[in-house]
Structure 1
Amino acid sequence: MQHVKIPQDRIGVLIGQGGETMREIETEAEVRLDIDSENGSVAVEAVGDPVKGLKGPEIVRAIGRGFSPEDALTLLVDDMMLFDLVDIDAASRNKNDVKRQKGRLIGEGGRTRELMEQLSGASVVIYGTTLGIIGTPPQVETARTAAEMLLDGAPHGTVYSFLEERHNEMKYQALESHRYPGGDS
């Protein structure tokens, strides 16, 4: 059994209307959730397939960090799906700097976050002082690198160029793997 702590304002999202989301997570991930809505502590116990059960705490953590239950459940799509967090606070000097850094990651009208999602192929959410990423290893690595570049002060144009370059590389690799399944040509 694993314990995950999530923010109070995300408990309702985790439980869902009439407990619907909680039941869906329990069914899909083959876990049992024991939610303490007083302190935000969630006990996650695997009750079925242990591999799926390992994803249970990650799904709860992802919802706690701002992902919709639908996006969090994509962690079950295949074993390669990952959940990663970038700590904005760690890259900031003070409260004002956290706001500025979040602004850089979100971009004008949400444009930067949207481009990060579109070009990396990962789901990206900014909540509190974290940037959450869900995707395959190359998608997560691309989004994380872009976020870290922005947090380190790289110009947005440089980050967009990096994202486009990685997007094209991933597209090319996907094409190649379909053209030559199994790796032999």
Structure 2
Amino acid sequence: MVRLIIEKFPRVLKNKKRLEKRLNIKIESRGKEIQITGAPEDEYKAEKVITALDFGFPFSTALLIKEEDFIFESINIKEHTKRKDFARIKSRLIGTKGKALKTLSTLTGCYFEIKDNWIGVIGEPEHIKNAERAVILIIKGSKHGNVYSYLEKHQIKPVLDLGLKEDDERLEI
């Protein structure tokens, strides 16, 4: 049994039946506290999905966490800067009309959301490392162009199946 206290309670309550069905869990609510019951692995994934929903991610994006290929990480802005002007740092992360965040999303293959002094990232484990590094560089004051070129240089190439392994069917010739 997992208990969570969430801020965007109506959002989770609206999707309660869909969450229960897709995550194989039971959700009970009291005020802003949510109680999740189910198999331990399902509870863990549900906790991450509900936290992502509370963060502001769309329902379909938050459900990607259920898949084994995606994880959710959150970065605290306060841990990476001594400055108190969080509005300026957030605006650097978002960019003009969201352009910086879209570019980060495109280059890393991850999804980003900003909530208070936190940045949420959903993506594949290989891409999360570069996404976190890019966000931290922008928080610390690096130029956007330098961060983008860093991401372009450090993009992870997909692993291709070269057909070197033999299938059982090929051996029966």
TM range (shorter): 0.7 to 0.9
The size of the alignment, in residue pairs, is 165
Gaps of 5+ in 2: 166-173
RMSD: 1.8
Which residue does the alignment assign to 2:171? none
Which residue does the alignment assign to 2:92? 104
Local SS of the residue matching 1:67 = coil
Residue 142 in 1 paired to residue 130 in 2?
yes
Q: Aligned partner of 1:160: which letter?
A: Y
In the TM superposition, residue 117 of structure 1 has moved relative to its aligned partner by 0.9
Is the CA contact (8 Å cut-off) linking 1:92 and 1:101 kept in structure 2?
no
Which residue does the alignment assign to 1:73? 63
Q: Deviations over 1:43-69 (max 9, x none)?
A: 1111x5x43332010011111111112
Larger radius of gyration: 2
Relative distance call for 1:181 and 1:147 in structure 2 (3 A) is farther
Which residue does the alignment assign to 2:169? none
TM-score by length of 1: 0.81
Q: Aligned partner of 1:70: which letter?
A: S
Q: Distance in 1 between matches of 2:4 and 2:16?
A: 14
Which residue does the alignment assign to 2:47? 57
Q: Deviations over 1:64-106 (max 9, x none)?
A: 11111211111112x23110001123334465x1111111111
Q: Percent identity?
A: 23
Q: Aligned partner of 2:21: which letter?
A: T
Local SS of the residue matching 2:56 = coil
Residue 35 in 1 paired to residue 18 in 2?
no
Q: Aligned partner of 2:13: which letter?
A: I
TM-score by length of 2: 0.86
Which structure has greater helix proportion? 1
Q: Distance in 1 between matches of 2:83 and 2:28?
A: 36
Q: 2:154 aligns with which of 166, 171, 179?
A: 166
In the TM superposition, residue 30 of structure 1 has moved relative to its aligned partner by 0.9
Q: Distance in 2 between matches of 1:181 and 1:108?
A: 48
Relative distance call for 1:100 and 1:14 in structure 2 (3 A) is same
Residue 82 in 1 paired to residue 46 in 2?
no
Gaps of 5+ in 1: none
Q: Aligned partner of 1:36: which letter?
A: R
